[in-house]
Structure 1
Amino acid sequence: MTSPIEIRPAHPDEYDEVGRVTERAFADGPYGHLPVTTERRELVNDVAARAASGTVLVAVGSDGAILGTATLLRAGTPQSRLAVGEEAELRLLGVVAETRGLGLGRSLALAAEEVALGWGAASVVLDTGTRNLVSQTLYRTLGYELIPNRSAEPDGSPIQHVEFVKPLRDRDDVLVRLVRPDEYEAAADLSERAYTSEYDITESYRTSIRQIAERAREHQVWVAVDSVSGTLLGAVATPRPGHSISPLARDGELDFRLLAVDPPARGRGIGALLTRHVIELARLRRLDHVVMNSGQQMVGAHRLYERLGFGRLPEREGSITEGGRTIQLLAFTIPVGAA
């Protein structure tokens, strides 16, 4: 079932309330008895500045009330303390006291991780107070590890900090991130090459494959990028959180479309990397299954899916008519917990 809590970026007209919710959340924590420094108060209340330096996320109830918030910052921005290079930094994660125990902190942290993946960040770093044992337990269960010998600039606070990091990349030679507007044409070209090099496709399907800009605006288009040259190697489309990209998906499922690997990049494991990335998105969104359709003739892709652990979903298979041609569609699925 769809969660009644929505996690999304804060709207500008919500910034004042985000500041108030952050103040409340930390006032109810283990350091709420301590005086708040001027620097800390400015950090909490200047939500617009934090949003400009990254993303401010909110957990919103069915009545529109903001129940929690978290900020993800890019390295080198004024509000970042720890992040360097290609790291992203998670700060000011808090939920109002009356909602604790509902998993909102976990949902916000996972949503921030997805934002970091969209940036192409190599890892997420964060710090928390030594007495904040609840937060430390949360971060450890999410896969964060203590950072040895990392020191941040002092913030004028008497609170002692512990610092954590979570790597996001499986490989050093290729990163996966959201496509950028100046890459739409290149992503369309590689996707067209990927499909026309092996398959006889209709002109309407060719047009659909090339609609990267439209797909990126409505959904998400992820690209695999060579870390050294910056060359695009592959692409795949997924829905935004809370939505689907095809009629196939049901509640608790993430669907994806148009997995493509540029022919010169084949043999580098790009298709597997992008498919595993989709499964990771489903895990971050706390979904149960990944599902997708594939044309009957795309046997190379089918071998990839089977190798990764996908199984057939015959009860959802069928056909479509496109350009006067009937195309049989197979359906595949994988449980996220088994991937």
Structure 2
Amino acid sequence: MRSPSGGPVDRPLVRRALDRDLAGAGEVSVAAFVGDGHTRPDSPYVDLLRDAARRNREAELLVAVDGAGAVLGCVTFAPGGTAWADVARPGEGEIRMLAVGAAARGRGVGRALVAAAVDRSRELGLAGMAFSTRPAMTAAHRIYEALGFVRAPERDWSAAPGMHLLVYTTRF
């Protein structure tokens, strides 16, 4: 398995995004959501996915990078009650837009990103996490469940007509 920079994908380094990561994070996000068929190429959501600088400025953008600094994946983290949190309540953390590049899939990148968001929630003294996912995102569901998240169907919602979102939660 090779990273986008051509090197082997080992353990990714997960950290807060730096300016040099933003273009790569935006492209990985668009490629994952559009390429996997979760978002139409003409959807306004594509602009939000691509705007990693905004996500990093208004929330926290965590990136997984390889040894050469290539972005393998990213996730947006926000505490509940802030502008980027859709379903997390105050006292909970939320992840949004988890994306892993095709070349890095199956290598623990998604799991490392979610685990980093859990760590960030704990650092902030939050009591748990809650976030949304699409029903078809089954690979992500496996990561969430392996990390101890459980479905909270009473919190499921629709972001737009015909877009049903499942909610996962955990308590610390």
Note if 1:297 corresponds to 2:136: yes
Q: TM-score normalised to the size of structure 2?
A: 0.86
- 2:3 — aligned with what? none
Shift in Å at residue 188 of structure 1?
0.6
- The runs of at least 4 aligned residues of structure 1 exceeding 3 Å deviation read 240-244
Shift in Å at residue 245 of structure 1?
2.1
Query: Amino acid of the residue matched to residue 296 of structure 1?
Result: P
Indicate the percent of aligned positions where both proteins have the same amino acid: 35
- 2:36 — aligned with what? 198
Please identify the structure whose Cα radius of gyration is greater. Answer: 1
1:124-174, Cα deviation, whole Å (9 max, x unpaired): xxxxxxxxxxxxxxxxxxxxxxxxxxxxxxxxxxxxxxxxxxxxxxxx832
Tell me, in whole angstroms, the C-alpha distance in 2 between the residues paired with 1:200 and 1:247: 18
Tell me, in whole angstroms, the C-alpha distance in 1 between the residues paired with 2:158 and 2:142: 20
- 2:25 — aligned with what? 187
Tell me, in whole angstroms, the C-alpha distance in 1 between the residues paired with 2:166 and 2:107: 26
Q: TM-score normalised to the size of structure 1?
A: 0.45
Indicate conservation of the 8 Å contact 1:279/1:290, yes or no.
yes
- 2:164 — aligned with what? 328
Indicate conservation of the 8 Å contact 1:197/1:263, yes or no.
no
Indicate conservation of the 8 Å contact 1:220/1:239, yes or no.
yes
**Counterpart secondary structure, 1:247:** coil
Tell me, in whole angstroms, the C-alpha distance in 2 between the residues paired with 1:186 and 1:282: 25
Shift in Å at residue 285 of structure 1?
1.1
- 1:152 — aligned with what? none
Query: Amino acid of the residue matched to residue 326 of structure 1?
Result: G
Indicate conservation of the 8 Å contact 1:194/1:261, yes or no.
yes
Correspondent of 1:284 among 123, 126, 129: 123
Query: Amino acid of the residue matched to residue 148 of structure 2?
Result: G
Note if 1:220 corresponds to 2:60: yes
For structure 1, list consecutive stretches of 5 or more residues without a partner in the other structure.
Answer: 1-171
Query: Amino acid of the residue matched to residue 194 of structure 1?
Result: A
Tell me, in whole angstroms, the C-alpha distance in 2 between the residues paired with 1:287 and 1:181: 27
Bigger relative contact order (CA 8 A; separation at least 6): 2
Indicate conservation of the 8 Å contact 2:158/2:165, yes or no.
yes
Indicate conservation of the 8 Å contact 2:76/2:97, yes or no.
yes
Alignment of 1:24-173 (within 5 A): 173=11
Tell me, in whole angstroms, the C-alpha distance in 1 between the residues paired with 2:28 and 2:159: 25
What is the total number of aligned residue pairs between the two structures? 161
